[in-house]
Amino acid sequence: MNVISLVRCISKFGLFAGVLAAATGGAQLAHASCAGMARAPGPSLHPYFQHASFLKAATGPAQSRMASAVPRNHLKITFVGHSTFEIETAEGARAQTDYNDYVQGGDPPHIVTMNNSHDSHFSYAPMKGIEHVLRGWDPKGGVAKHNLMFRDLRVRNVPTNLIDRGDGKLSNGNSMFVFEAAGLCAVHISHLHHYLSENQLRALGPIDIAFAPIDGMWTMSHDELFRVLGDIKARMVIPMHFGSMGGVEAFTARAQTIWKVRKHPSSSITLSLRDMPRTPEVVFLQGY
């Protein structure tokens, strides 16, 4: 077993777990077993990210109404933190990726997706008010199948394999999720641990936006990630899952040799088909 495999095994059992302080004035979040979560950046931040302001915002009715004002034919994406994004449509559909018990933002979304690699990527007790809980695995041991249409948002999954404690692969034990709205298709790669097959790439279809884990250790190596991103051919890559030792710097340095890399000034971005770059680019949203 190599070093990365050993670290993945250890982190699976939570021995690298840490305590992450919430972005709200000193409140403490729960114990997380994902090492990338436990190593989230502290006071000294990389220039491409800072602590997300999303959790600091008020979550009352007035704020919720303002947050749902997405223009027609647009999609709003907010980086909540770690690997959780909120996706909101013009008809007010709201979905959160890798919904978990540690990093949450705002009122309960209509839809949540989950990944079962670590407990910082799923919730044991989803918040009341969530209408659709989509797990990337089948609790009964089969293959998860989701194809949900909610208002103007379609959410579907593409099954992937799950790394196990012996560094093997458990077939179809997890999923990537695809979000389709306003003519855009976004894939949340989440805690992927392998290259994608031709069947998986066909199931994904054309992708405009890819949410990509850039840690280089707890999910995939950067060699693996750049091959996966090259296969997916998204027009925009939005990084997530920071926290590994030098992972952000290494990813950024390599990405800059291939694509344009830019830092967005906030944790939210509103996009339409017309906003998609002609050539692929990496866009860092403010967050951790």
Model confidence at 190, pLDDT cuts 50, 70, 90, reads confident
105-126 pLDDT tens trace: 778 999 999 987 666 666 888 9
Helices (H) and strands (E) in the chain, counts: 6, 16
151-187 pLDDT tens trace: 999 999 999 987 654 445 577 778 999 999 999 999 9
Whether the Cβ atoms of residue 134 and residue 85 lie closer than 8 Å to each other? no
* Domain regions of the chain by residue span: 3-284
**Selection from 81, 161, 164, 76 nearest residue 121 by Cα:** 81
Tally of CB atoms within 10 A around 115: 27
**Selection from 108, 237, 189 nearest residue 95 by Cα:** 108
Residue 89's DSSP bridge partners are 75
CATH 3.60.15.10 fits 3-284, yes or no: yes
**Selection from 163, 186, 179 nearest residue 116 by Cα:** 163
192-249 pLDDT tens trace: 888 999 999 999 999 999 999 998 777 788 999 999 999 999 999 999 888 667 889 9
Using only C-alpha atoms, what is the Rg of the chain? 17
Tally of CB atoms within 10 A around 247: 23
Q: In the sheet that 111-114 helps form, which strands lie side by side, from edge to edge?
A: 132-135, 111-114, 94-96, 84-89, 75-81, 268-271
Residues 6+ apart with CB under 8 A from 76: 70, 87, 88, 89, 268, 269, 270, 271
Tally of CB atoms within 10 A around 124: 7
What's the predicted TM-score (pTM) here?
0.77
